[in-house]
Amino acid sequence: MLSEKLRKAINEQINKEFYSSYLYLAMAAHFDANALPGFAKWMKVQASEEWGHGMKFYEYLQEVGARAELAAIPQPPVQYGSPKEIFDLVYAHEQGVTASINEIYALAQAEKDPKTELMLHWFINEQIEEEKNDRDILDKLAMTGNNAFGIMFLDQHVLGERKAD
């Protein structure tokens, strides 16, 4: 049986994952409105992934006989800055998600719940990938020096070519 502390923490994480999805969709809307369809596509794929992460936590609760309790998803910001400023936000956001998952992992260890620890391994590995992807994009954006041609190249030939998993 899942402890009440873990059930509550996982429910909070579901909300964080769904918020991440909503946040990235809001960023996609910004990119779409600013003629950067490749950046928008990258964010839409990311939004879909984040929704899937929330559902993975949801399904885990169902599998262990714990109740999922969905909370309201906060509204994400509407206005954003440059692509680099946005990916700085994305990277910081993903670091926060990593910290949250690490806290749940530590709680699972404290509660002596190896099944939850094992489930969280997937998320820990996923967060390594998420943060690396964000750093790679930030490195590429730094190379452009905010040059319009460089931004357009990234839009069309890097971010726009992202495929859904």
162 close to 42: Cβ distance less than 8 angstroms: yes
Identify the pLDDT of residue 160.
83
Mean pLDDT of 121-147: 96
- Expressed as residue numbers, the domain containing 105 is 4-161
pLDDT tens digits for range 1-38: 899 999 999 999 999 999 999 999 999 999 999 999 99
Which pLDDT belongs to residue 161? 83
Identify the pLDDT of residue 32. 97
CA distances to 18, 64, 146 from 158, rounded to whole Å, are 26, 40, 16
**What's the chain's average pLDDT?**
96
- pLDDT score recorded for residue 36: 97
> Torsion angle, CA of 128/124/102/49, rounded to 10 degrees?
80
What's the domain count of the chain? Answer: 1
pLDDT of residue 163: 82
CA distances from 164 to 4, 24, 46, 55, 157 (A): 35, 14, 8, 16, 16
Residue 70 phi, psi (nearest 5): -85, 135
Interval 87-115: pLDDT, tens: 999 999 999 999 999 999 999 999 999 99
Looking up residue 27, the CATH number of its domain turns out to be 1.20.1260.10
Query: With the C-alpha atoms ordered 48, 21, 125, 67, is the resulting torsion angle positive or negative?
Result: negative
Which residue in 78, 99, 87, 80 sits closest to 16, CA to CA?
99
Over its C-alpha atoms, the chain yields an Rg (Å, rounded) of: 17
User: What is the mean pLDDT of the segment spanning 50-66?
Assistant: 98
Alpha carbons 142 and 41: distance in angstroms, whole number: 20
pLDDT at 131 over 90: yes
